[in-house]
């Protein structure tokens, strides 16, 4: 007790001295003194621990009743081999490969009717909205009228030609009349073809006022109203947006320090907290070819299954599997301690008629979610001390509160 009192007094005195002001040189000298004093105290404490250990061992030999009183209460767990996996935990978002803007075939126009609403399912080619078509209908009617007139004129020209041709066969009239009549038929035929092509163009222009869906999916946005001008997209985005939920993916930026660890085909688990479901298993389908100069990261993508609870822009938590080991020893990371010789743990072993703590030097591997892989030093079957390990030493008598 006197030794402990002296140590405490010395420590208080040292701290009091350190609290006083002084010049930079004096403070540096005091810092050196403090470090020297701390090293001395640590050595004294280590010596006291050794003395306590020896005394406890002597007591255990001389007084069996006293030996039971110096046992330290611990909890143990029987070690078994298991699989271990290490993941890189990152956050990104859900995106859709099948996001499309509804667009007109032509330059657009004023909206006369809208046939869809947000949340509605649509198929490829389904009519989405109708643009004003008054001019196009007039143009089509005019083209059709021109074709009708040309057909009548062509029929008349054909009749004249046939009459001149019959007369010429009877040696009546002049050959030039036959030639001119044939030329009129050919010219009229050419005009009719041109007019019919004009009808086709007018019909196509009229059809352009029917705006149809270019992909199947669900209408995500309708940002226009009847009477407004429709062009398909503005600076703010698409006027009518369709999302194909069957082609969702998780997009996650990966810090560039993982560039050698993350590759296409790596297994991933993707958790979307809002769904309340277990993580979706997938693989990395895309690895970005460049590093973003601002974020110092590269983009990765992994496909998601079709699920009505998944929506674009939801938060996606991706776990990228970068290491796994089969049939290895895995223990709580907090049970691993360190000293000047490296990493070690305490296990419980039988020594004669009592249980004692034994120090085991271990070689450790990866750490994930509070668990650490043991590469060597433990083989399975040992009783690892999981509680009370901080207050035991090698060879100390211990007792268990429960075997887990």
For the stretch 111-134, pLDDT in tens is: 999 999 998 989 889 999 999 999
Asked if 372 and 363 count as a contact pair (C-beta separation under 8 A), the reply is no
**Residue 97 and residue 386: Cα distance in Å, rounded?**
49
Summarised one tens digit per residue, pLDDT across range 80-96 is: 999 999 999 999 999 87
Q: From the options 2.60.40.1220, 2.40.30.170, 1.10.10.10, 3.30.360.10, give the CATH code of 90-98+242-324.
A: 2.40.30.170
Q: Does position 99 have pLDDT exceeding 90, yes or no?
A: no
Among 286, 367, 287, which Cα is nearest to 323's?
Answer: 367
Given a cut of 90, whether residue 46 has pLDDT beyond it is no
Beta strand 398-403 with 72-78 is parallel
Q: Which residue has the higher pLDDT, 55 or 335?
A: 335
Domain 133-208 in CATH 1.10.1070: no
Q: Which of 191, 26, 218 is nearest to 128 (CA)?
A: 218
295-329, pLDDT tens digit by residue?
A: 999 999 999 988 888 888 899 999 999 999 999 99
Range scoring the smallest mean pLDDT among 23-37, 154-168, 181-195, 387-401: 23-37
Which of the pair, 92 or 39, is modelled with greater confidence? 92
Nearest-angstrom CA–CA distance, 339 and 345: 11
* Per-residue pLDDT tens over the stretch 325-353: 999 999 999 999 998 889 999 999 998 88
More confident residue, 194 or 220: 194
DSSP letters along 186-234, please? HHHHHHHHHHHHHHHHHHHHHHTTEEE-SS-EEEEEE---TTSEE-SEE
The answer to whether residue 59 scores a pLDDT higher than 70 is: no
DSSP SS3 for 240: strand
**Residue 73: band (very low, low, confident or very high) from pLDDT cuts 50, 70, 90:** confident
pLDDT band at 56 (very low <50, low <70, confident <90, very high): low
pLDDT at position 18 is: 46
221 or 6: which leads in pLDDT:
221
Q: Compute the average pLDDT of residues 39-56.
A: 69
pLDDT at residue 25 above 80?
no
Q: pTM for the complete prediction?
A: 0.56
Q: Where are the domains of the chain?
A: 1-10+33-62, 63-83+326-403, 90-98+242-324, 103-129+211-238, 133-208
CA angle in degrees (0–180, nearest 5) for 255-257-262: 75
| Architecture of the domain delimited by 63-83+326-403 | Beta Barrel (2.40)
């Amino acid at each position: 007790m006197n030794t402990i009192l002296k140590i405490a007094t010395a420590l208080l005195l040292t701290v009091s001295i350190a609290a006083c002001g002084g010049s930079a040189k004096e403070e540096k000298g005091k810092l050196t003194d403090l470090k020297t004093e701390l090293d001395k105290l640590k050595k004294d404490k280590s010596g006291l621990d050794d003395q306590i250990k020896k005394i406890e061992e002597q007591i255990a030999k001389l007084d069996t009743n006293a030996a039971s009183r110096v046992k330290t209460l611990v909890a143990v767990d029987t070690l078994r081999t298991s699989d271990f996996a290490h993941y890189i935990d990152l956050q990104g978002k859900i995106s859709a490969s099948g996001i499309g803007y509804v667009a007109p075939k032509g330059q657009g126009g004023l909206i006369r009717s809208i046939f869809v609403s947000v949340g509605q399912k649509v198929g490829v080619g389904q009519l989405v909205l109708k643009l004003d078509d008054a001019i196009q209908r007039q143009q089509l009617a005019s083209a059709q009228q021109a074709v009708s007139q040309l057909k009548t004129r062509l029929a008349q020209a054909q009749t004249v030609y046939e009459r001149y041709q019959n007369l010429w066969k009877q040696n009546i009239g002049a050959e030039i009349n036959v030639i001119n009549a044939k030329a009129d038929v050919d010219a009229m035929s050419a005009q009719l073809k041109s007019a019919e092509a004009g009808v086709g163009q007018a019909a196509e222009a009229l059809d352009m006022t029917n705006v149809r869906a270019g992909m199947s999916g669900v209408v995500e946005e309708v940002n226009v109203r009847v009477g407004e001008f429709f062009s398909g997209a503005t600076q703010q985005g698409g006027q009518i947006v369709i999302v194909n939920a069957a082609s969702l993916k998780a997009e996650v930026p990966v810090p560039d320090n993982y560039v050698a660890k993350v590759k296409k085909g790596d297994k991933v688990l993707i958790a979307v907290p809002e769904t309340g479901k277990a993580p979706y298993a997938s693989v990395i389908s895309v690895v970005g070819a460049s590093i973003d100069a601002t974020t110092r990261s590269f983009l990765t993508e992994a496909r998601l299954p079709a699920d009505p609870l998944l929506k674009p822009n939801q938060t996606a938590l991706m776990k990228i599997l970068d290491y796994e080991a089969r049939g290895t020893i895995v223990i709580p990371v907090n049970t691993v301690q360190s000293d000047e010789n490296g990493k070690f743990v305490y296990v419980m072993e039988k020594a004669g008629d009592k249980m004692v703590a034994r120090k085991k030097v271990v070689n450790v591997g990866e750490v994930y979610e509070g668990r650490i892989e043991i590469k060597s030093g433990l083989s399975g079957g040992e009783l690892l001390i999981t509680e009370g390990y901080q207050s035991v030493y090698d060879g100390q008598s211990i007792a268990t509160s429960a075997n887990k």
